[in-house]
A and B are shown apart, each in its own frame.
Chain A
Amino acid sequence: GQQVMQIPQYQHVQEGEDFTTYCNSSTTLSNIQWYKQRPGGHPVFLIQLVKSGEVKKQKRLTFQFGEAKKNSSLHITATQTTDVGTYFCAGRHNFNKFYFGSGTKLNVKP
């Protein structure tokens, strides 16, 4: 079926280290969105990628969409304690419903 797989499930880093989470789909996505959810909070939209090979940056965050539009990644450079939370990708097929990955929980040690 149509699913979006996300790895790793957990990531513990020392403050200042980099962090990357990956999403993969077995079928081509029309677009992919990334969300951040703080403990006890709700998902908050970060960014959307639509074009093949697209790369977008938000300060220390870099988002990539694969050439085949089947995978995506989120990379955080020099993590800070404020980056703590769970990061979800949400892939879409044919601009219909979104399929969320299971999330990567990031813990940053000061």
Chain B
Amino acid sequence: DTGVSQNPRHKITKRGQNVTFRCDPISEHNRLYWYRQTLGQGPEFLTYFQNEAQLEKSRLLSDRFSAERPKGSFSTLEIQRTEQGDSAMYLCASSLGGQPSTDTQYFGPGTRLTVL
């Protein structure tokens, strides 16, 4: 149990619908990352937050994707007008930040999205 939780664990939706995922990081962790992972590939960076500030967003991310971390604690990832190509495992990770020695990422169990 890494302490990072994600909800829901599975989501099946129809193409064109909007979906929202939630990530609760380990408390006191300042950094929160979102990744997407497809079968046989490594996690692909989407975006990350330092507290409530979104510091970087992948250029691979279209305008249909948005993430928030309003109070610097939990985060949400929304995908609008889902497409079949959005089907993947969406992983959240958190870290303490600060010095590299304390910046270990702890991953949550992920949300598996299937777009029909």
Check if A45 sits within 8 Å of B42, measured CB to CB.
no
Q: Does B110 have its Cβ within 8 Å of any Cβ on chain A?
A: yes
Interface string of B90-111 (1 = CB under 8 A from A): 0101000000110111111110
Selected from B41, B45, B91, B103, the residue in CB contact (under 8 A) with A43 is: B91
Query: Residue on A with the closest CB to B110?
Result: A42
B56 at the interface (CB under 8 A from A): yes
Stretch of A56-64, A65-73, A75-83, A91-99 lying at the B interface:
A91-99
Instruction: Given A42-B91, A96-B56, check contact A88 B43 (CB 8 Å).
Output: yes
Asked if A42 contacts B108 (CB within 8 A), the reply is yes
What residues on A are CB-neighbors of B74 within 8 Å? none
The size of the chain A interface, using a CB distance under 8 A, is: 23
What are 28 A-B contacts defined by CB distance under 8 Å? A6-B42, A33-B104, A35-B107, A41-B109, A42-B109, A43-B43, A43-B93, A45-B105, A45-B106, A45-B107, A48-B100, A48-B103, A48-B104, A50-B100, A90-B43, A90-B105, A95-B100, A95-B103, A96-B56, A97-B45, A97-B48, A99-B45, A100-B35, A100-B42, A100-B43, A101-B42, A102-B40, A103-B41
6 smallest CB-CB distances across A and B, nearest first, come from A100-B42, A42-B107, A100-B43, A43-B107, A97-B45, A103-B42
